[in-house]
Amino acid sequence: MRVLGVDPGLTRCGVGVVEGVAGRPLTMVGVGVVRTPTDAELGHRLVAIEQGIETWLDEHRPEYVAVERVFSQHNVRTVMGTAQASAVAMLCAARRGIPVALHTPSEVKAAVTGSGRADKAQVGAMVTRLLRLAAPPRPADAADALALAICHIWRAPAQNRLQQAVALHTSKGRTG
Amino acid sequence: MRVLGVDPGLTRCGVGVVEGVAGRPLTMVGVGVVRTPTDAELGHRLVAIEQGIETWLDEHRPEYVAVERVFSQHNVRTVMGTAQASAVAMLCAARRGIPVALHTPSEVKAAVTGSGRADKAQVGAMVTRLLRLAAPPRPADAADALALAICHIWRAPAQNRLQQAVALHTSKGRTG
């Protein structure tokens, strides 16, 4: 399973590709950051993010895209930009028929560190260990994108079983 | 000046095209709503909005796109979807090199009714009058999209003068 994780942001959009299956060692395929200038117009920044994500999809051909689920309880200005950047990432994936999964920050932290309240350093340290890297990926947005991809690989089997159960139940309800 | 107004939303995205200049009677060129099913996956809904906006841009070739500026002080769930739908509209316009303008709901209300706190009915009534329509456009999202386009046509001269002044000041600063 090859997953592109996206930590959405207008100024820095973390992207990381991880390959593997739950219960086996994971491999980092690529990591980086799509940046847009803070003084550019919003529309142009969204176009730059689209081009960046498209390049990552072209180069790495992920089977799944995992995007951080955005909540609005944080800083108002930041959260709008995050929601807009995440929309572009989801759009790029869905347009290609790539399934998009959303994971909350605490789900991601819990997946890689065991605690939903882990700090950035702890997430970075675990990503480094789990992917057997020489050093934590920088900036933190890049590490978070890898953590999202890892989270998706580990959570996916349970999610898929749940989706299958729901689909089965729904089809039974329709035929019964 | 031909303007496409977009009242962003995931379930109903209002779109309206108005032609005219400030100080002259305005003409409605088209009005409608891009809808996406509430039970569809978020990525697919964003793709549907993209296709809808693209169709409107293809058919009406606006010179400007005016989008409602989203704030996050309202309902959390709604505002995220609104921010994401607005990102898609801005992306579609910017990709074609069409300038995107953002206007706040109170700017739009003040432009068409004289009061930034006017209600939906008042906005609908003034849109109907200003565009000499037989009846208020339905649903309200469609009327709001037309109001955005009208607001842009009326505010644009001032905004353009401001942009020119800023550009002049900046270039003077650089050369001086």
Asked whether the beta carbons of B98 and B65 are under 8 A apart, the reply is yes
Asked whether the beta carbons of B65 and B73 are under 8 A apart, the reply is no
Instruction: Please give the pLDDT value at position B173.
Output: 47
pLDDT in tens, chain B (176 residues): 999 999 999 999 999 999 999 889 999 999 999 999 999 999 999 999 999 999 999 999 999 999 999 876 666 667 889 999 999 999 999 999 999 999 999 999 999 999 999 999 999 999 999 999 999 999 999 999 999 999 999 987 666 566 556 656 655 544 43
Q: How many CA atoms lie within 13 A of A120 on its CB side?
A: 8
- With an 8 Å Cβ cutoff, are A84 and B85 in contact? no
- Residue extents of the structural domains in chain B: 2-175
Interface test with A, best of B91, B102, B166 (most A CBs within 10 A): B91
Q: CB pairs below 8 Å between A and B: how many?
A: 78
Chain B residues with CB under 8 Å of A72 CB are 72, 76, 79-80
Instruction: Please give the pLDDT value at position A76.
Output: 65
d(CA A36, CA B96): 18
Who's near B144: CB < 8 A, 6+ residues apart?
Answer: B5, B7, B14, B68, B108, B120, B123
Q: Phi and psi of B21, rounded to 5°? A: -135, 160
Instruction: Please give the pLDDT value at position B156.
Output: 76
Instruction: Please give the pLDDT value at position A175.
Output: 41
The residue whose two tokens read 């303008």 is: B101
> Is the CA virtual torsion B67, B69, B75, B81 positive or negative?
positive
Q: A12 pairs with which residues across the strands?
A: A35
Instruction: Please give the pLDDT value at position B71.
Output: 76
d(CA A78, CA A141): 14
Sheet-wide strand order for B100-103: B27-35, B12-19, B2-7, B64-68, B100-103
d(CA A135, CA A110): 21
Instruction: Please give the pLDDT value at position A23.
Output: 87
d(CA A51, CA B8): 23
Chain B residues with CB under 8 Å of A42 CB are 90, 100, 102
Q: Provide the chain A residues 13-72 that lie in CB contact (below 8 A) with chain B.
A: 41-44, 46-47, 50, 70-72
- With an 8 Å Cβ cutoff, are A95 and B71 in contact? no
> Is the CA virtual torsion B109, B113, B116, B120 positive or negative?
negative
Host H or E run for residue A67? strand A64-68
E-strand spans in chain B? 2-7, 12-19, 27-35, 64-68, 100-103
The minimum CA-CA distance between B75 and chain A, rounded to whole Å, is 9
**With a cut of 50, which residues of chain A have pLDDT below it?**
173-176
The minimum CA-CA distance between A96 and chain B, rounded to whole Å, is 10
Asked whether the beta carbons of A46 and A84 are under 8 A apart, the reply is yes
Interface test with B, best of A84, A103, A104 (most B CBs within 10 A): A84
CATH class of B2-175: alpha beta
d(CA B112, CA B61): 24
Host H or E run for residue A103? strand A100-103
- With an 8 Å Cβ cutoff, are A100 and B41 in contact? yes
Give the active site residue among A41, A50, A59, A68. Answer: A68
Taking Cα atoms as reference points, which of A66, A65, A70, A34 lies closest to residue A52? A34
Which positions of A make up the binding site for Mg(2+)?
7, 68, 141
Instruction: Please give the pLDDT value at position A7.
Output: 97
Instruction: Please give the pLDDT value at position A176.
Output: 33
Is A58 considered catalytic here? no
d(CA A42, CA A85): 10
Taking Cα atoms as reference points, which of B141, B157, B34 lies closest to residue B89? B34
Residues of B marked active site are found at 7, 68, 141
The amino acid occupying position B98 is I
